[in-house]
Amino acid sequence: MSSYHHGHLRSTLLEQGVELARAQGPEGVVLREVARRSGVSHNAAYRHFADRNALLAEIAEVGMQRLGLAMLAEMDQVALEPGPDRARARLRATGRAYVNFALAEPGLFAVAFASVDVQPDSSDLSVATQVDEQVSPHPYGLLGQALDELDAVGGMAPDRREGAEVLCWSAVHGYAVLHLDGPLHAVPEVERSAGLESLLDQIQRGLG
Pick the stretch among 12-20, 30-38, 118-126, 168-176 that binds its own copies (CB under 8 A). 168-176
By the rule CB under 8 A, 84 interacts with its own copies: no
CB of residue 200 to DNA, shortest distance in Å: 39
Whether residue 124 contacts residue 47, with contact meaning beta carbons closer than 8 Å, is answered with no
Containing 168, the helix (H) or strand (E) segment is helix 164-180
The CA distance from 50 to 11, in Å, is 15
Q: Which is nearer to DNA, 28 or 84 (CB)?
A: 28
CB of residue 52 to DNA, shortest distance in Å: 4
Report phi then psi at 22, rounded to 5.
-60, -40
Q: Which residues contact 160 (CB under 8 A, 6 or more apart)?
A: 207
By the rule CB under 8 A, 193 interacts with its own copies: no
3-state secondary structure of 48: coil
By the rule CB under 8 A, 175 interacts with its own copies: yes
Pick the stretch among 28-36, 61-69, 116-124, 130-138 that binds DNA (CB under 7 A). 28-36
The binder of 44, among its own copies, DNA, none, by C-beta within 5 to 8 A per type, is: DNA
By the rule CB under 7 A, 47 interacts with DNA: yes
The CA distance from 78 to 84, in Å, is 12
Handedness of CA 16, 27, 179, 144 (dihedral sign): negative
By the rule CB under 7 A, 124 interacts with DNA: no
Enumerate binding residues for DNA (CB under 7 A). Answer: 3-7, 9, 29-33, 40-44, 46-48, 51-53
